[in-house]
Amino acid sequence: MKRILLTLFVSLFMTLSVIAQNNPDVFRALGSPEDPKVQVSWNRYLTHSGITDLSQKLAEAHPDFIKLSSIGESYEGRELWMLTVTNHNNKPHTEKPGYYIDGNIHANEIQGAEISLYTAWYLAENYEDIEFIRNLMDSRVFYIVPSINPDGRDHYMNQPNNANTPRSGVKPVDNDGDGELSEDSFNDLNNDNHITQMRRENPRGNWTTDPDFPRRMIRTDTDEFGSYEMLGWEGVDNDGDGEVNEDRTGYYDPNRDWGWNWQPDYVQRGAYKYPFSLPENRAVADFVIAHPNIAGAQSYHNTGGMLLRGPGAAEDADTYNRTDEAVYDFLGEIGDEMMPGYRYMVVHRDLYTVFGGELDWFYGGRGIFTFTNELYTSHMMFGRDAEPGDRYKFDELLLFNDGWVEWETYDHPQFGEVEIGGFKKNFGRANPGFLLESDAHRNMAFTLFHAYHLPELGISDVSSKDLGSGLREITATITNNRVIPTHASHDLMNNITPPNVITIDGVDVQAGMIVEDEDFGITTEQTHNPESLRVENIPGMDEITVRWIVRGNGDFTIRVDSNKGGKLSEEFSL
């Protein structure tokens, strides 16, 4: 079954409409727009103002496909932009199965915003050219928030930082317990906007240079001295407490702030005051709750090349039961094939424990099948598992040493003469420019595959049988032609989403029932409001049968109203 579904997806994805060349100077590359209305270089990163500008251009160029709105403001007042991407002309987006995408919840994990924007751009620009995209846009809606931490994003880009900072936003906190709220950045001693390493010559040090990669520092063996000691990140002791760089921008983790299995900071490092205490996360949660049609989701992080699902903590292992895990496994295993170097993994089992994570709230709190992709992997450097020194070789051979700050002497107020140097802040976690678009496309393709398998409902096999005395028996089958059910098993157990409602109009309904077994004539009657049958779930790649006893003849309409499966109706004359 998995192979059949994959073949169907691939064949649809690769089906192109026959079109004439629009631009005589361009020969269209497969899978890419020939002459996009919005020309974008997908080999660079945008500040918040750049995200704003591109989002506005996309909405202006594609008014039928992209609507731009704000779901709220960040702590410092930046807009949290939402791009609602679908065919806005055929039916309201709230009546279609929804797929939510966000990126950049961690300030230094920036490329999620670009990949989110690439998705919106790609869908709109390829609607006319690629049949699969057209079908997806006609039947699904994508809610895309490129950055849900715009304050931290701009801080990372515009202020001195290393590759790992800042993880949080910029809300000031007392990060070292001295009673003072800290807002200071690193001390950028050489004023290059990158926080690199400090080393000092020492004949009895325990570090030396790698003979194969002279820029690389390696520890010496335990029975010999090296020629250097490493002093940590570039900076000074700015308050005389003997610690360097501990008084920089305070630490909290926005991905420990969500209202599912939330734990305080002494249990879960990085938790803030209480669930949804950060305005950005609260804005996302409010939007998702207000849009129960969202059935799938993706949150982009970096790094390591991982397709992650929950649970984040072992305590939640029972939340993900076998039925839902089968859906996750189907999607995740295909994702492994689509993205070489990536691995499908479970957070608590394969990484570490996370309490209060976005991934778990989306699934546990809302019943949404959700992944977190950790973008970029060292496999991309040379197409294999990384070996010692590969980072230096990659920078030298493919980036032409653009990722490195050469060691230079500095007169340090505490340490005396030191040398400052090392990898720049945007090396190692953020994709180099030439690898950004490829990674964006593969990750986007995975989300489109996921969105393709959101519930797709249909009405079929409608029949009418004369029962005599002016009564008719009308039977209909409601199909779900995709893998994801209208209700996750966890959703059903916790009554998160209302049942599907199957309604017949235009006839006088005497009785309504769900057919449990057609062969043996087993049915379950709904005595209250029999014209609108409440169906708890329509499983993936499955169907349910409903039946009404009605009086009279004439035309009638069958309507399906499913929060996560969308709304549809058909008229019949039998």
Report the distance separating Cα 59 and Cα 84, nearest Å.
Answer: 9
pLDDT tens for each residue of 297-351? 999 999 999 999 999 999 999 899 999 999 999 999 999 999 999 999 999 999 9
Q: Average pLDDT, stretch 94-105?
A: 98
pLDDT at 16: 40
pLDDT of 395 above 60:
yes
Confidence of residue 243 (pLDDT cuts 50, 70, 90): confident
Contacts of 128 (CB under 8 A, 6+ apart): 17, 19, 134
Q: Which residue in 402, 350, 404, 398 sits closest to 374, CA to CA? A: 350
For Cα atoms 332, 338, 340, give the angle at the middle one, nearest 5 degrees: 100
Question: If we measure between CA atoms, which residue out of 348, 353, 344, 352 comes closest to residue 373?
Answer: 344
For residue 181, pLDDT over 70 is answered with no
Regarding predicted confidence, which is higher, 433 or 171? Answer: 433
Q: What is the pLDDT of residues 436-469, one digit of tens each?
A: 999 999 999 999 999 999 999 999 999 999 999 9
d(CA 19, CA 346): 43
Mean pLDDT value of segment 540-563 = 96
* 3-class DSSP assignment, residue 50: helix
Can the peptide bond before residue 249 be classed as cis, meaning omega within 30 degrees of 0? no
Instruction: Order across the sheet with 532-535: list the strands.
Output: 532-535, 500-505, 555-562, 566-573
Q: pLDDT band for position 237 (50/70/90)?
A: confident
Residue 79 has pLDDT above 90, yes or no: yes
> Which of 58-72, 225-239, 359-373, 474-488 shows the lowest mean pLDDT across its residues?
225-239
What pLDDT score does 223 carry? 84
437 phi/psi in degrees, rounded to 5: -65, -40
Secondary structure class of 137 (helix, strand, coil): helix
Q: End-to-end distance of the chain based on CA atoms, in angstroms? A: 35
Per-residue pLDDT tens digits for 23-33: 899 999 999 99
The answer, yes or no, to whether residue 19 has pLDDT greater than 50, is no
Instruction: Output the pLDDT for position 169.
Output: 86
Region 150-169 average pLDDT: 94
Pairing of strands 79-85, 141-145: antiparallel
User: Beta-carbon neighbour count of residue 183 at 10 Å?
Assistant: 13
CB-based contacts of 284, cutoff 8 Å, min separation 6: 71, 80, 102, 145, 148, 358
Angle at 247 between CA 245 and CA 252, to 5 degrees: 105
Supply the pLDDT for residue 18: 38
**Average predicted confidence (pLDDT) for the chain:** 93
Q: What is the reported pLDDT for 87?
A: 98
| Nearest partner of 565 among 502, 514, 520, judged by Cα | 502
Q: Which residues contact 20 (CB under 8 A, 6 or more apart)?
A: none
CATH 2.60.40.10 boundaries in the chain: 457-573
Hunting for tokens 């950060």 — which residue is that?
278
Closest C-alpha to 112, from 254, 220, 294: 254
For range 509-515, the mean pLDDT: 98
> What pLDDT is attached to residue 11?
56
Query: What CATH number should be reported for the domain whose range is 457-573?
Result: 2.60.40.10
| Closest to 105 measured CA to CA, from 448, 294, 375, 346 | 375
pLDDT beyond 70 at 57: yes
Give the largest CA-CA distance in the chain. Answer: 105
Residue 137, token pair as written in the block: 């846009």
Q: Are 118 and 441 in contact (CB under 8 A)?
A: yes
Residue 367, sorted as left (phi over 0), alpha (psi -120 to 50) or beta, turns out to be left
Q: Which H or E element spans position 481?
A: none
Nearest to 511 by CA among 545, 556, 537, 474: 474
Side-chain half-sphere CA neighbours of 9 within 13 A: 23
The reported pLDDT for the residue numbered 231 is 95
Structure tokens at 75: 């702590």
pLDDT tier, 20 (very low <50, low <70, confident <90, very high otherwise): very low
- What does the buried/exposed string (b/e) look like for 449-486 if buried means 16 or more CB atoms within 10 Å of the residue's CB? bbbbbbbbbebeeeeeeeeeeeebebbbbbbbebbbbb
For the cut 70, the answer to whether the pLDDT of residue 560 exceeds it is yes
Which tokens go with 533? 């049958």
Instruction: Write down the H helix ranges in 399-530.
Output: 433-452, 489-494
Q: Which residues share a beta bridge with 199?
A: 230, 419
pLDDT band of residue 176 (cuts 50, 70, 90) is low
Contact 331, 371 (CB under 8 A): yes
* DSSP per position, 70-127: EEEE-TTS-EEEEEEES-TTTS-GGGS-EEEEEE-SSTT-THHHHHHHHHHHHHHHTT
Q: What band does 17 get if pLDDT is binned at 50, 70 and 90?
A: very low
The domain defined by 2-16+59-155+260-376+431-452 carries CATH number 3.30.1390.20: no
Question: What CA–CA distance (Å, rounded) separates 451 from 552?
Answer: 42
Confidence class for position 221, pLDDT limits 50, 70, 90: confident
Reported as a single tens digit per residue, the pLDDT across 193-218 is 999 999 999 999 999 999 999 999 99
The Cβ of residue 25 has, within 10 Å, a number of other Cβ atoms equal to: 6
Region 166-179 average pLDDT: 74
Q: How many whole angstroms separate alpha carbon 321 and alpha carbon 302? A: 27
Q: What percent of the chain has pLDDT over 70?
A: 93
Residues of the chain with CATH 3.40.630.10: 2-16+59-155+260-376+431-452
